[in-house]
Amino acid sequence: MGFLPVFLALSSQPVVLVGSGSQALAKLHLLRAAGAQVRWFSTSDSDDERLPLATHYAGDIRVALGEPGDSDIETALAVVSAAGNEIDTRIAARARRLNVPVNVVDQLDLSTFIFPAIVNRGDVVVAIGTAGASPVLARRLRERIEAILPARVGELAALMKRHRDKIVAVRRRWPGFSARRFWERMIDGPVGAAALAGRSLDAEAALLREIEHARIPEKTAGAVHLVSAGPGDADLLTLRALQVLQNADVVFYDELVTPEILDRSRRDAELVFVGKRRGEPGVAREEINRRLTAAAHAGLQVVRLSGGDRFEADGEDTERLRQAGVATVVIPGVATAQHMAAGRGIEMAA
């Protein structure tokens, strides 16, 4: 990951935009859509071009002719330049010298940050980047995400934002209350369904009822999901495997599981290595099952992630966990043999 995606609050400091023409105007439109204060230094001497565009947007836009001074740059949150080669090079050098982030449109080597392709759903924004390698690929990915992302998902996020403080108050009243689990139930249940269907009043009323009755739930039993990671390609994880990884509290994994597959786990899930490393003793199978059992009895959602397709052929772990009173689910992966056959264009017999 060559660039870290971040979301900047644009209301505190201005953004300096340098240039005129279609590229500069496209960035002006994007910055204003995000609510930025813009200090636009146009390189065109035509007032007829600049001023109507500046007044077209609501908010604070100041227009000047020529290049910004050092004081303009050093007080900016960021600088965006689309003025042409010589000016862009100077602006980039000055911004770097003043330690201000700079983007030169279509000049990756002059930029310290880049603009992603954006899917905008109000309070929900998806940013897609390719580290500047292929804006066309980023746009294609954006088109696919646009097609599957619910149109009203931003309204659902806004509803949750309005009542977030109430959940903070619930957590203070019930220290063992899990806000994450609460919001998962809201998103996946009737509240989320009503919001995404456009029934905003119903969604808000249902959410308020849930908040009013929110408290520490009775202790629920955890479960263990035995997930086969298959041949090691993260793109070959099944949809069910991805779902349980995203819902896991703790993931126990072995040496055959690749970092790319681990990256599909929920970000705040605990990752526990239980494999074998060169020169070190491995964790015994009995000890692994003991840890899985303890975590499940503590009410956690547990994933035992193993490379290959071991859990499909071996029912010993499943039986031991069930004998210990643990709800256990086996999630098969893509079999290594099937993967190899598919890669060679071979049809597997049933």
What pLDDT band is residue 3 in, cutting at 50, 70 and 90? confident
Instruction: Kindly name the residue from 72, 249, 254, 317 that is annotated as catalytic.
Output: 254
* Positive or negative torsion for Cα 104, 105, 111, 114: positive
Q: Residue range 203-207: average pLDDT?
A: 95
Paired strand residues for 17? 40, 80
Instruction: Kindly name the residue from 276, 309, 314, 317 that is annotated as catalytic.
Output: 276
pLDDT of residue 128: 92
Query: What pLDDT, in 10s, does the model give residues 114-170?
Result: 999 899 998 999 999 888 788 899 999 999 999 888 999 999 999 999 999 999 999
Residue 156 DSSP label: H
Q: What is the CATH number of domain 223-336?
A: 3.40.1010.10
- Average pLDDT of the chain is 85
Q: Do domains 15-115 and 223-336 have the same CATH topology?
A: no
Q: Is 276 a catalytic residue?
A: yes
Q: Residue ranges of the domains in the chain? A: 15-115, 153-212, 223-336
pTM summary value: 0.66
Residue 108 contacts residue 114 (beta carbons within 8 Å)? yes
pLDDT of residue 349: 41
Using DSSP's 3-state secondary structure scheme, residue 125 falls into strand
pLDDT of residue 311: 57
Q: Is 254 a catalytic residue?
A: yes
Query: What pLDDT, in 10s, does the model give residues 44-59?
Result: 766 455 555 555 555 5
List, as one string, the DSSP characters of 253-284.
E-TTS-HHHHTTS-TTSEEEE-S--TTSPPPP
Fold of 15-115: Rossmann fold (3.40.50)
pLDDT value at 15 more than 90: yes
Place of tokens 């009822």: 209
Residue 11 contacts residue 37 (beta carbons within 8 Å)? yes
